[in-house]
Structure 1
Amino acid sequence: MLPGAPDPPGWWIWGRQPGPGLWCPSLLFFLVALSPAAGSYSGPGTANEPGLNVYMSEEEVRRLIGLDAELYYVRNDVINHYALSFNLLVPGETSSLHFSWHAKSKVEYKLGFQVDKPLAMEIPQTNISMQGVVPNSLSVFRVDLLCSGRMDSEVVLVMQLNITISSAKNITVLNFKRRKMCYRKIEQEARDPISFDRNNTRIHFDPVNVAPTTSTRVFYISVGVCCAVIFLVAIILAVLHLHSMKRVDLDESLSDSSSSQGLSQPSTQTTQYLRADTPNNATPVTSYPTLRIEKNDLKSVTLLEAKAKVKDIAISRERVTLKDVLHEGTFGRIFHGILVDEKDPSKEKPVFVKTVKDQASEVQVTMMLTESCKLRGLHHRNLLPISHVCIEEGERPMVLLPFMNWGNLKLFLRQCKLVEANNPQAISQQDLVHMAIQIACGMSYLARREVIHKDLAARNCVIDESLQVKITDNALSRDLFPMDYHCLGDNENRPVRWMALESLVNKEFSSAGDVWAFGVTLWELMTLGQTPYVDIDPFEMAAYLKDGYRIAQPINCPDELFAVMACCWALDPEERPKFQQLVQCLTEFHSALGAYV
């Protein structure tokens, strides 16, 4: 996107995707900084006669950031202080920077470099002299960033460029700030001359430094045997995984020791405010599990099979009393119900009751039972799996879930929106971030268990009076929220506006796709239940996403929080953050909000 090109109304447009290691807040900055109105300019600029120009060319910006644009630090003697103030993150695999410059009149310069961790990075080298005269014709000079390989660390470096105009004899100081990750060579060389670190950053080591083996033939044979063993193990694990996916009963004998982690137990090490590179210190998660869902796979399950899979949690219909209707669709209903204790009839507890009307088809009943089992057997404070079912002959099946007295999260947010001025249940921005953290905690637990939700949204969450949020399944959601689902000609209603591009086009679902949906859910929270992409035809969604369009930043949404959303919408699934990182990122931001409230 060229500087100054207008954006479509109400939309935020990306350039190409950032390279590995570059977080989306950097993109957010440059989309602002590359426009003519961005930044704070000062200097004796001349309108008719070009003077000094220092900038990064379009090729260099594309290499570092992935955008097709030039980034000017000085244009015609006018300094872009906004661009100079930004501490740009250099991708790990990048070992040199290129700057373009020229001046019409005689301009003297002097270069200097400073690094905060000399043990991790040597003083940068350049292919030009450290002082001299800025060339009159367009030239490019290179700055080499040389990591020492002695330690793992993030290095902050500053390139200082002192400019002196001969006619004025005054000195202008330009400081270019960069951050770069350096890694130890020893650990990597012990494995391979060319390897990857924990963040999938490519690091190249000189093969000369690798310790030679006693026999090249033995080495290659060993590598071949190891690869064969790994391949066989991968096949066995894949078969076991596919076999386990067929089981609806996901009960586990051991509970996850980390399932209770959430906002009530914040990390004592989390003290920093949200930064552009947050969270660098988050523990990486293994690669996302990917599942390809065939069309109408749920409809291949019969009603008898669905009932058989929930038979062990079936209870008598007589124990359930239906009270108020909380939500109603064409064929589905959600009631506020009362469940009587089996051993002590005097004890009662409130429950959600999902059921269907008489006109519901057998397929719709089967899908309700099957989709209700999505979270069954999982135990986490931010998940709400089913507790019981009623499947007696001659009666419409009912699904029971623990009661949350403020009900559906989407309806709650919209209620707050409608009466925002004098709402007794008014919620603050800090409360909304608190809700987002809880949803991210629940999704992080699902990701660790390799469970893919595939329909994360505010409509599939519930909330109580203490603002505790829990994620539910999507049973009956298509009927209760019909405007959120669309059929794209394949006889299958899908949440098109919440789906990642790979899920929308190729029906490929993974935890990375759930991360995309979490970004949209975070947008729902900050807009109090508005519908995303409301002006876009569902049939055009895939084309819009491919072209780089995203929903606009909500009003009163901080830049740091919108940057978190933006990271979730990277086209490449590998470039999206993990839920574990999102939890830490939002927790730090929540702590920072608390410090000023």
Structure 2
Amino acid sequence: MLPGVPDPPGGWRRRRRRLGPGLCMLLLLLLSGPGTHSDPGLNVYMSEEEVRRLIGLDAELYYVRNDIINHYALSFNLLVPSETNSLHFSWHAKSKVEYKLGLQVDHSLAVDTPQANISMQGDVPYSLSVFRVDLFCSGKMDSEVMLLMQLNVTISSAKNITVLNFKRRKMCYRKVEQEVKVPISPEKNSSGINFDPVNVAPTTSTRVFYISVGVCCAVIFLVAIILAVLHLHSMKRVELDDSMSDSSSSQGLSQPSTQTTQYLRADTPNNATPVTSSSGYPTLRIEKNDLKSVTLLEAKAKVKDIAISRERVTLKDVLHEGTFGRIFHGILVDEKDPSKEKAVFVKTVKDQASEVQITMMLTESCKLRGLHHRNLLPIGHVCIEDAEKPMVLLPFMNWGNLKLFLRQCKLVEANNPQAISQQDLVHMAIQIACGMSYLARREVIHKDLAARNCVIDESLQVKITDNALSRDLFPMDYHCLGDNENRPVRWMALESLVNKEFSSAGDVWAFGVTLWELMTLGQTPYVDIDPFEMAAYLKDGYRIAQPINCPDELFAVMACCWALDPEERPKFQQLVQCLTEFHAALGAYV
């Protein structure tokens, strides 16, 4: 008897592979590997060559593996390219298994009667075999044809029937009949003179041909002129940027690689489209060094209403330190009752910090100001007295920075593998998605979502914070691409990298990378890719690969966030719902 139990989710075999069109959901169906064909039981699957031919993935898709049915795979309705006329299925059985095969289409005029190269009933072969189903379009009409292949299998010892339904969709098109020209024999006119219409004037098709050639030549000439102008313009732009960059811009060219990262290529349909902003999202275009145009006096004026006395703040331990910035664990005394105090994060700068760096700290600290959500950590107070370096105060989360916390978990993972569970990591992702969904509804664009810009407490509550001082505290996560501006290149969507266009869709892309950080316990994405090559790398369709021990369902969520077309990416509310359902499914196995 074939139990109707789906395969447990597995990981991808680690190799470079390509994602076919619209395959975010299909990622959930491909299992961890081919297995061995000597295993007992019935096996029915699509071979790696067949999967690559149909949908461009290097993996085997099992429908039945060792008598276990994969209902997820059977429920997926694969699209067959119009030029593909045959489907191949691999199968074999260890013991005697009888089968009956049925083929049915819903548009008999659009396709010829499907044919199989095996008999419609018999026994499943003991050795590995491949059977073929031919599906040829008739060319009589345009239609989307649904093929239902029903395979009834019976184990002789059990004498019960298990029905397997395979569904395929194929587009068929009407054949366009070509015009056949019949040569015209010379005739005589009324005056008795031979009249040959071919010699009198060119035919209509000949005139159309010459006109088409002329138009094509004109178009090619215009395109060549446009490309030449654009090339000259880009050369001037590069020279201008090179002249503006200083010696500090070379610091972001490379970084030591201590980890091996694998990449995959996502050939979704929108990878072929130009990188443009999405009309469905509020888009913000950022010019270079926009924050540096704000003066220190202007920055202080914006936070003057939340300024408090420096005497109310006591600095304790240094939690994180960079070249010019520090984060302290501090104590804030209540203004009305000095006996009451609470813990706070204190962001401040060292004596060698420049005025520009101080201004950027104050300006970026206001990114979430005035917003209230359980998964956001906005600025609380500031100290901007003239005699002291400015300080920014935020509510304290005692496990601190999320990225540092994840890396600490990775260090103790070998000794204590239960320190943090996969269910905990998904719960963190849900909280981040909830906070970002709130920002999207308020039309606030974060522009730097990452694990380094989140904090966590002992109850695993995660809150998103601003990116003030992040460039200094996490210098390896930011790179200068020749324009004197450090940016989180490895977390940015392509339209943000190329066109400096930011939207909630760009934050969704960064959320996908943040989710990848969670599942890898704080690894750096694209660590082997030169930051200067990131835009070209993403435009070619390559992405970071599925982390080890990351379920297929969760990786599918990441892959959907990395669609090149911003409109193809999910909204944060959809991500919250999807992750919540997956979290509940994980809980069912605990």
Classify the TM-score, shorter chain.
0.5 to 0.7
Deviations 1:67-125 (A, max 9, x none): 79999999999999998785537999999999999999999999857899999999999
Give 1:536 deviation, angstroms: 1.6
Instruction: Indicate the residue corresponding to 1:331 in structure 2.
Output: 324
Moved more, 377-386 or 236-245: 236-245
With over 3 angstroms needed to count, the CA separation of the structure-2 counterparts of 1:481 and 1:103, relative to structure 1, is closer
With over 3 angstroms needed to count, the CA separation of the structure-2 counterparts of 1:322 and 1:316, relative to structure 1, is same
Give 1:501 deviation, angstroms: 1.5
With over 3 angstroms needed to count, the CA separation of the structure-2 counterparts of 1:208 and 1:147, relative to structure 1, is farther
With over 3 angstroms needed to count, the CA separation of the structure-2 counterparts of 1:550 and 1:266, relative to structure 1, is closer
With over 3 angstroms needed to count, the CA separation of the structure-2 counterparts of 1:5 and 1:213, relative to structure 1, is farther
With over 3 angstroms needed to count, the CA separation of the structure-2 counterparts of 1:183 and 1:513, relative to structure 1, is farther
SS at match of 1:229: helix
Give 1:539 deviation, angstroms: 1.4
Give 1:225 deviation, angstroms: 37
Deviations 1:552-571 (A, max 9, x none): 22121111111211111122
With over 3 angstroms needed to count, the CA separation of the structure-2 counterparts of 1:80 and 1:275, relative to structure 1, is farther
Deviations 1:24-77 (A, max 9, x none): xxxxxxxxxxxxxxxxxx999999999999999999999985879999999999
Whether the 8 Å contact between 1:61 and 1:68 is mirrored in structure 2 is: yes
Moved more, 62-71 or 340-349: 62-71
Question: Using the alignment, how far apart are the partners of 1:197 and 1:261 within structure 2?
Answer: 84
Moved more, 254-263 or 398-407: 254-263
Instruction: Indicate the residue corresponding to 1:268 in structure 2.
Output: 258
Give 1:543 deviation, angstroms: 2.2
Whether the 8 Å contact between 1:390 and 1:398 is mirrored in structure 2 is: yes
Question: Using the alignment, how far apart are the partners of 1:201 and 1:575 within structure 2?
Answer: 72
With over 3 angstroms needed to count, the CA separation of the structure-2 counterparts of 1:418 and 1:252, relative to structure 1, is same
- 2:247 is aligned, of 238, 257, 271, to 257
Moved more, 198-207 or 240-249: 198-207
Whether the 8 Å contact between 1:188 and 1:195 is mirrored in structure 2 is: no
Moved more, 147-156 or 295-304: 147-156
Question: Using the alignment, how far apart are the partners of 2:208 and 2:271 within structure 1?
Answer: 39
Question: Using the alignment, how far apart are the partners of 2:440 and 2:190 within structure 1?
Answer: 19
Whether the 8 Å contact between 2:479 and 2:489 is mirrored in structure 1 is: yes
Instruction: Indicate the residue corresponding to 1:585 in structure 2.
Output: 578
With over 3 angstroms needed to count, the CA separation of the structure-2 counterparts of 1:567 and 1:358, relative to structure 1, is same
Whether the 8 Å contact between 1:160 and 1:176 is mirrored in structure 2 is: yes
Question: Using the alignment, how far apart are the partners of 1:289 and 1:307 within structure 2?
Answer: 28
2:268 is aligned with 1:294: no
SS at match of 2:202: coil
Whether the 8 Å contact between 1:263 and 1:587 is mirrored in structure 2 is: no
Give 1:422 deviation, angstroms: 3.6
Moved more, 219-228 or 507-516: 219-228
Question: Using the alignment, how far apart are the partners of 1:408 and 1:201 within structure 2?
Answer: 101
Whether the 8 Å contact between 1:322 and 1:335 is mirrored in structure 2 is: yes
SS at match of 2:250: coil
Deviations 1:305-342 (A, max 9, x none): 11111111111111111111100000000011111111
Instruction: Indicate the residue corresponding to 1:442 in structure 2.
Output: 435
Give 1:491 deviation, angstroms: 0.8
- 2:109 is aligned, of 111, 114, 119, to 119
Structure 2: 5+ residue stretches without partners: 24-31
With over 3 angstroms needed to count, the CA separation of the structure-2 counterparts of 1:568 and 1:118, relative to structure 1, is farther
- The count of aligned residue pairs is 575
With over 3 angstroms needed to count, the CA separation of the structure-2 counterparts of 1:121 and 1:234, relative to structure 1, is farther
Question: Using the alignment, how far apart are the partners of 1:198 and 1:88 within structure 2?
Answer: 62
2:163 is aligned with 1:163: no
Deviations 1:244-282 (A, max 9, x none): 999999999999999999999999999999999999999
Give 1:527 deviation, angstroms: 1.1
Instruction: Indicate the residue corresponding to 2:121 in structure 1.
Output: 131
With over 3 angstroms needed to count, the CA separation of the structure-2 counterparts of 1:289 and 1:44, relative to structure 1, is closer
Whether the 8 Å contact between 1:375 and 1:384 is mirrored in structure 2 is: yes
With over 3 angstroms needed to count, the CA separation of the structure-2 counterparts of 1:168 and 1:4, relative to structure 1, is closer
With over 3 angstroms needed to count, the CA separation of the structure-2 counterparts of 1:537 and 1:43, relative to structure 1, is closer
SS at match of 2:185: strand
With over 3 angstroms needed to count, the CA separation of the structure-2 counterparts of 1:101 and 1:587, relative to structure 1, is closer
Give 1:525 deviation, angstroms: 0.8
Whether the 8 Å contact between 2:244 and 2:484 is mirrored in structure 1 is: no
Whether the 8 Å contact between 1:274 and 1:588 is mirrored in structure 2 is: no
Deviations 1:179-234 (A, max 9, x none): 99999999999999999999999999999999999999999999999999999999
Moved more, 231-240 or 167-176: 231-240
With over 3 angstroms needed to count, the CA separation of the structure-2 counterparts of 1:215 and 1:421, relative to structure 1, is same
Give 1:3 deviation, angstroms: 32
With over 3 angstroms needed to count, the CA separation of the structure-2 counterparts of 1:429 and 1:140, relative to structure 1, is closer
Question: Using the alignment, how far apart are the partners of 2:529 and 2:191 within structure 1?
Answer: 37
Moved more, 533-542 or 328-337: 533-542
Give 1:362 deviation, angstroms: 0.5
TM-score normalised by length of structure 2: 0.61
Question: Using the alignment, how far apart are the partners of 1:204 and 1:512 within structure 2?
Answer: 73
**Higher gyration radius (CA):** 2
Deviations 1:468-510 (A, max 9, x none): 0000000000000001111111111111111111111221211
Whether the 8 Å contact between 2:425 and 2:518 is mirrored in structure 1 is: yes
Moved more, 276-285 or 292-301: 276-285
Question: Using the alignment, how far apart are the partners of 1:192 and 1:448 within structure 2?
Answer: 67
Give 1:580 deviation, angstroms: 1.0
TM-score normalised by length of structure 1: 0.60
Give 1:547 deviation, angstroms: 2.3
Give 1:177 deviation, angstroms: 2.5
With over 3 angstroms needed to count, the CA separation of the structure-2 counterparts of 1:422 and 1:97, relative to structure 1, is closer
Instruction: Indicate the residue corresponding to 2:2 in structure 1.
Output: 2
2:494 is aligned with 1:504: no
With over 3 angstroms needed to count, the CA separation of the structure-2 counterparts of 1:426 and 1:357, relative to structure 1, is same
SS at match of 2:171: strand
Whether the 8 Å contact between 2:11 and 2:550 is mirrored in structure 1 is: no
SS at match of 1:110: strand
Question: Using the alignment, how far apart are the partners of 1:396 and 1:519 within structure 2?
Answer: 37
SS at match of 1:393: coil
Whether the 8 Å contact between 2:242 and 2:482 is mirrored in structure 1 is: no
User: RMSD between aligned alpha carbons?
Assistant: 15.1
With over 3 angstroms needed to count, the CA separation of the structure-2 counterparts of 1:432 and 1:398, relative to structure 1, is same
Question: Using the alignment, how far apart are the partners of 1:200 and 1:503 within structure 2?
Answer: 76
Whether the 8 Å contact between 2:3 and 2:69 is mirrored in structure 1 is: no
Instruction: Indicate the residue corresponding to 2:366 in structure 1.
Output: 373
Whether the 8 Å contact between 2:271 and 2:563 is mirrored in structure 1 is: no
Question: Using the alignment, how far apart are the partners of 1:530 and 1:242 within structure 2?
Answer: 40
With over 3 angstroms needed to count, the CA separation of the structure-2 counterparts of 1:161 and 1:5, relative to structure 1, is closer
With over 3 angstroms needed to count, the CA separation of the structure-2 counterparts of 1:359 and 1:469, relative to structure 1, is same
Whether the 8 Å contact between 1:273 and 1:589 is mirrored in structure 2 is: no
Question: Using the alignment, how far apart are the partners of 2:71 and 2:56 within structure 1?
Answer: 22
With over 3 angstroms needed to count, the CA separation of the structure-2 counterparts of 1:215 and 1:5, relative to structure 1, is same
Whether the 8 Å contact between 1:497 and 1:533 is mirrored in structure 2 is: yes
With over 3 angstroms needed to count, the CA separation of the structure-2 counterparts of 1:378 and 1:104, relative to structure 1, is closer
Match runs of 1:16-95 below 5 Å: 87-88=77-78
SS at match of 2:18: coil
Give 1:421 deviation, angstroms: 3.2
Moved more, 555-564 or 109-118: 109-118
Instruction: Indicate the residue corresponding to 1:30 in structure 2.
Output: none
Deviations 1:555-590 (A, max 9, x none): 211111112111111222222111111111111111
Instruction: Indicate the residue corresponding to 1:491 in structure 2.
Output: 484
With over 3 angstroms needed to count, the CA separation of the structure-2 counterparts of 1:317 and 1:527, relative to structure 1, is same
SS at match of 2:331: strand
Whether the 8 Å contact between 1:93 and 1:202 is mirrored in structure 2 is: no
Moved more, 82-91 or 393-402: 82-91
Moved more, 534-543 or 393-402: 534-543
With over 3 angstroms needed to count, the CA separation of the structure-2 counterparts of 1:584 and 1:243, relative to structure 1, is farther
Whether the 8 Å contact between 2:329 and 2:346 is mirrored in structure 1 is: yes
Give 1:465 deviation, angstroms: 0.3
Question: Using the alignment, how far apart are the partners of 2:121 and 2:419 within structure 1?
Answer: 61
With over 3 angstroms needed to count, the CA separation of the structure-2 counterparts of 1:251 and 1:581, relative to structure 1, is farther
Give 1:461 deviation, angstroms: 0.3
SS at match of 1:117: coil
